[in-house]
Amino acid sequence: MNNFTKKTNPSNDGPGAQRTDTPWVAGLIFKMALIMSIIFAAFFARVHLNDKTEQLAAEKSRISKQIRDRQTEIQTLKIQLAGLKSWENISSKIRQYNLALRAVNPSQVRYMKRFDGPVAVPTADSDTRIADSSTGGGML
């Protein structure tokens, strides 16, 4: 028989005589504890992320409501401004406070043509007065 394949019974009189066959149990327990701790960490990470997502959704909802409220307020102010700028409101305030103001006479209104060309800068010795055709050609 071959010495390398021959099975022999272990002797109980060496330094390994006290050794038991349980080191595989300790390794198994360590691996199971490691797997359980990874699952535990993943579970609590998921719970934390869900909680954070709910907090952000609530904050988004609150901010969206504030934006809608501000937009409504802006629209209300625009409507009030249009009412205050109306001629009816202005004329009622003129009457209420007895101001010496009156509506514009159409002959006081002048219309200018739009000029898109270059504008000349007047020099110190040039005449900057403009002729007014409504006064018979006199200078302003």
Residue 35 lies in a domain: yes
3-state secondary structure of 139: strand
Q: What is the mean pLDDT of the chain?
A: 82
Residue 137 lies in a domain: no
Residue 46 lies in a domain: yes
Residue 9 lies in a domain: no
Q: What is the pLDDT of residue 134?
A: 54
- For the stretch 65-118, pLDDT in tens is 999 999 999 999 999 999 999 989 998 998 899 988 877 888 988 888 888 888
Contact, 44 vs 52, CB < 8 A? no
Tell me, rounded to whole angstroms, the distance of Cα 84 from its chain centroid. Answer: 33
The pLDDT confidence band at residue 140, using thresholds 50, 70 and 90, is very low
Residue 118 lies in a domain: no
Longest distance between any two alpha carbons in the chain, whole Å: 143
Q: What is the pLDDT of residue 1?
A: 52
Residue 12 lies in a domain: no
Task: Tell me how many domains the chain contains.
Answer: 1
Q: What is the pLDDT of residue 50?
A: 97
Residue 111 lies in a domain: no
Q: What is the pLDDT of residue 105?
A: 87
Rounded distance between C-alpha atoms, residue 102 and residue 99, angstroms: 9
Kindly write down the DSSP assignment for every residue of 105-128, as one continuous string: PGGG--------SPPPPPPTTS--
Residue 97 lies in a domain: yes
Segments forming the whole domain that contains residue 30: 24-105
